[in-house]
Amino acid sequence: MRCTRITTMVRMTDSVSATPTAWTNPLRDPRDLRLPRIAGPCSIVIFGVTGDLSRKKLLPAIYDLANRGLLPPSFGLTGFARRDWTEDHFRDFVREHVQQHCRTPFRESTWKQLAKGIRFVQGTFDDSAAFARLSDTVAELDRDRGTRGNHAFYMSVPPRAFPVVARQLADCGLARSSEGAWRRVIIEKPFGHDLASAKELDRVVSEVFDPSSVFRIDHYLGKETVQNMLALRFANAMYEPIWNANYVDHVQITMAEDIGVAGRAGYYDGIGAARDIIQNHLLQLLALTAMEEPVSFTASDLTAEKTKILSAVRLPKDLAAHTARGQYAAGWQGSHDVVGYLEEKGIDPASTTETYAAIRLDIDTRRWAGVPFYLRTGKRLGKRVTEIAVVFKRAPHLPFESTATRELGKNAIVIRVQPDEGVTIRFGSKVPGGTAMEVRDVSMDFSYGRSFTESSPEAYERLILDVLLGDPPLFPTTREVELSWQILDPIEEFWSTLGQPQPYRAGTWGPTEADEMLARDGRHWRMP
């Protein structure tokens, strides 16, 4: 009896040991939330590596990721540009701008490790020989650095260059990946200048790359506060019950800049504030503010809810009454005189491009029926700020004398996206002292900087890491881009018939017709 039992145990042991178990990396276990997700062996190729975006954002973000231990030790960085540089020249260029703009402390040990994987390819986008050299460089990284065929291509170039670069990558074989490896392409906004151009661009890129490998960058979606909006709504029980038309009067989404066009005149003139900001940034913020609770925070579930909202957006019937545009004129800002838009270097003196845009949108769903969403953006405004203000209805019955509440406004939840990241809740409170009841607005404020010991990473850090991990929840899909253009195209077509935008003095908060737009609805713009 005992011998039989032992024999059975031996057989069970042999059976277990004969079954191979797949090894799993504990650093990538989704159940362990204590550990950060670290990118596997890979490299990134940046086209337009000498441009402003690359110098100020992309290169510092890559260094900061490496400094935080989120990139593999063998990570490769390849720059593609027209300049006649050696690799040493390019390394000096990267080091200079990393030191100027990096968020984390500059460490020589981190830099030496990163510098070993830095390569440079000189050439133009129409030069097939340059892309052949790029292919050889990528193969060298696979061989010497162990990147295993995993490569991302960042198009930090003008939109007109996207198709050219995509076809060159296809012709030299870089768009194709071997089994078990990946190729991904990152495209900067704007993705087209209208619906037709967006569809054509998508067709060209889709011929080269699989749609699941195309990442359209909207850097606003990488900001911590935008992600915190989802936590604010769905991780707390107090907000979601009142986040609807029963309680909300209207929503204001503002993105204001205090600078002019600076060195972007060539890009900006002809594009304008609406195409530059509203089509991508503000409509994405609107979708995240208005969407229903997703099943999970995976890319497919988030996209499904955002798409529902964007497809339910309705334009006002009277575009003249519910849209506004303007151009900044000369004025006083930041303690010095500034010139108007038409006097900026590189701007056509007869340009009709708007530097300020404001529109009203309605969302045709049960949750938001009758609640207008006001979107505005502009340059040379009072200060740099981006915020989402959910403004609530007045209380239906106030057991107070009218004189007691004359300084009481509407309750509001304000999500500050930048620069002072946080959330403000505005409500009424009794003024202390006195014999009569007097109520005024007060604010309860949450700030990231005061509540957490960790500083928020740059948006590009999060987005670049997500690309390398193959995690796309924060990236707009083709359908979202098309729906956004469907919303904006009729407004742009209407504006094209109006001639010159209304001027507004630099340092103010936009043209008077924007104030009149809200006044028609019995509302006013809040002061950020």
Active site residues: 281
CB 64 within 8 A of CB 457: yes
Residues with Cβ within 8 Å of 46's Cβ and at least 6 positions away in sequence, in order, are 54, 58, 59, 77, 78, 79, 80, 154, 156
Nearest to 491 by CA among 322, 269, 290: 322
* Region for 170 from its dihedrals, namely left if φ exceeds 0, alpha if ψ lies in -120 to 50, beta otherwise: alpha
| Structural tokens at position 58 | 């992309």
What is each CA distance from 46 to 78, 101, 170, 187, in whole angstroms?
6, 18, 16, 11
Burial (CB < 10 A; 0-12, 13-18, 19+), residue 181, is middle
Report which DSSP code applies to 247. Answer: T
Say how far apart CA 293 and CA 382 lie, in whole Å: 35
Report which DSSP code applies to 106. Answer: P
Say how far apart CA 21 and CA 17 lie, in whole Å: 9
Say how far apart CA 190 and CA 197 lie, in whole Å: 11
Number of Cβ within a 10 Å radius of residue 450:
8
Number of Cβ within a 10 Å radius of residue 332:
12
Number of Cβ within a 10 Å radius of residue 490:
12
| Look-up of token digits 């054509």 | 200
Q: What is the per-residue DSSP string for 429-490?
A: EEPSSSSS--EEEEEEEEEHHHH-SSPPPPHHHHHHHHHHHT--TTS--HHHHHHHHHHHHH
State residue 284 phi and psi, 5-degree precision.
-65, -40
What is each CA distance from 11 to 16, 21, 22, in whole angstroms?
9, 18, 22
